Structure 1
Amino acid sequence: SSVPLNYLVRLRGGPLTQHEYNSRLSGVDGTHTVSVPYTDDSGTNRAYQMRYATCSQRGYYPEAADKLNQDAYAALERFRGREDEFVFAVFDGHGECGTECAVFARDRVPMEMACREFGDVEGYCAAFEATNAALRKSDIDDALSGTTGIVAHIRGRELYVINVGDSRATMGMTQTSESGVESVETFDLSSDQTPFRKDECERVKQYGARVLTL
């Protein structure tokens, strides 16, 4: 199309020009390719190529056009000094101090994970709980603010996903039909922790919360 992109944005009803949209993006530094070593079932050392990229877009609030981006993320190669270990995480803050909460969790959760064993589910829970306790003791006002958290911990061919709140991890797999047509099928790797989930609804009510539909 010969129509300028900034015009296309407005033509489709968007409130932002392309320049304004781009100014809300952060963390865009291209695609990274890394080699991930692993040992296969026969004991042979192998490696596969993994590509990743990061991008964060500040939300658009007409009544608060300059509202800070409340998201924080981490993309850590060679986690704990291991060539085969990686951590990818996203934290979505909320409330007046949501940005500070998200940044705090981004810095603290990997540190808490580093001193625990890979694949230790109880250890992952302890890392999140320790982060929450440290946040409560910090100078950040978290009375009405906080953050979600979703972490993917990779070592070799193993993957563990840990989450709190409603940030979600998904996986896409290429499928080929009998006729040879390729498509991408997505799978959720986490379950949103919200009152829409029965067990979470019951949990918060046990602590005295009221769950209302507005």
Structure 2
Amino acid sequence: MGACCSIGVHKFEGFMMNFEDDEKGSEVENEDYIKNGDCEARLQGSSKFVSMFTKQGRKGINQDAMTVWQNFTGEKDMFFCGVFDGHGPLGHKVARHVRDILPSKLSSSYKHSQTNGFNGSDDTDEENKNNNDNGNCHNPFLSSWKATLIKSFKEMDEDLSAESTIDSFCSGTTAVALLKQGDHLVTANLGDSRAVLCTRGNNNKLVSVQLTVDLKPNLELEAERIKKCEGRVFAMDEEPDVFRVWMPDEDCPGLAMARAFGDFCLKDFGLISTPEISYRKLTNRDEFVVLATDGVRKT
């Protein structure tokens, strides 16, 4: 199974998703929209500049979730997109819970930081210092969002651990999120879902650029952290190319990623919910971005 969300990026001025016009000619029901003040969110379907699609695979229930927010944080040209790939017995509930709660947390935290003049640019936390900002550490847009993303992801995981209606001890979800305003693009990645940019290269041909790194347990820094926390990383004989995270004394749960929301059975053994954050300044050669779960590229 897989889910993907694509959003156009090359029209910086007047970049709007016309939900009202789209809704008139769409079969999508009203419950697929959320309105919070000036913000509007889409949970499925498409509009003039956004397309969302998910398909159930052969493993059982579809555990993917996604959302797109227009006028995010109340700013007219701010967009938030997120794709979440659940795993484990209740992964579908975890993914949908994060989809429904994380955007509001981000928005509230961002507004609070702007009001108090805090941008978090001096953050030197060990888990965050390896984030890929491509030398843009003094970029105001990145600075204003980086600390907000890290803080909100941490709070989201804490809330999930306290959520009595969802047992996320052995269930969790990935998250790949995008924030766009004007020609600024910030991505936050947790797990192995991907953000891929379609741009125009030589001879005006379309070229794909992967904006995120699959945070697998066998990556050097990820494996180092997990082993330092007494977690184990190895691949099973029947899947020699799939490295997984295991508890110190038990061959479970075998999680195939190094970062995720939930999965609290591994949180003491190196699994973290800190996103890897990257920035890109868009140009008129950039066409659109696709956010997708790993099920899309495996099919």
Q: TM-score, normalised by structure 1?
A: 0.72
Cα deviation 1:97-155 (Å, max 9, x = unaligned): 00011011111211111023363212201111111000000021111110000000111
Provide structure 1 residue ranges, at least 5 long, that are not aligned to the other structure: 1-23, 38-45, 62-66
- Within 5 Å, which residues of 2 pair with 1:142-181? 142-177=168-203
1:202 aligns with 2:224: yes
SS at match of 1:126: helix
- Matched with 1:122 is 147
1:212 to 229, 234, 238: 234
Letter in 2 for 1:81: G
By how many angstroms is 1:197 displaced?
A: 1.4
- Matched with 1:13 is none
Do the aligned partners of 1:87 and 1:152 also contact (CA within 8 Å) in 2?
yes
**CA distance change for structure 1 residues 175 and 34 in 2, over 3 Å: closer, same or farther?**
closer
- Matched with 2:55 is 57
| Distance (Å, rounded) in 2 between the aligned partners of 1:130 and 1:93 | 18
Letter in 1 for 2:158: A
1:97 aligns with 2:113: no
Provide structure 2 residue ranges, at least 5 long, that are not aligned to the other structure: 17-47, 111-140, 237-299
Letter in 2 for 1:126: K
- Matched with 1:186 is 208
Instruction: Find the structure with the greater CA-based Rg.
Output: 1
SS at match of 1:55: strand
Letter in 1 for 2:193: S
| Distance (Å, rounded) in 2 between the aligned partners of 1:26 and 1:124 | 22
| Distance (Å, rounded) in 2 between the aligned partners of 1:53 and 1:127 | 26
- Matched with 1:138 is 163
Do the aligned partners of 1:36 and 1:84 also contact (CA within 8 Å) in 2?
no
Do the aligned partners of 2:4 and 2:83 also contact (CA within 8 Å) in 1?
no
Do the aligned partners of 1:171 and 1:188 also contact (CA within 8 Å) in 2?
yes
State the aligned residue count.
172
Percent identity, aligned pairs only, is: 27
Letter in 1 for 2:84: F
| Distance (Å, rounded) in 2 between the aligned partners of 1:157 and 1:163 | 20
Superposition RMSD on alpha carbons, in Å?
2.8
1:87 aligns with 2:80: yes
By how many angstroms is 1:73 displaced?
A: 0.2
Which of structures 1 and 2 has the larger relative contact order (alpha carbons within 8 angstroms, sep 6+)? 2
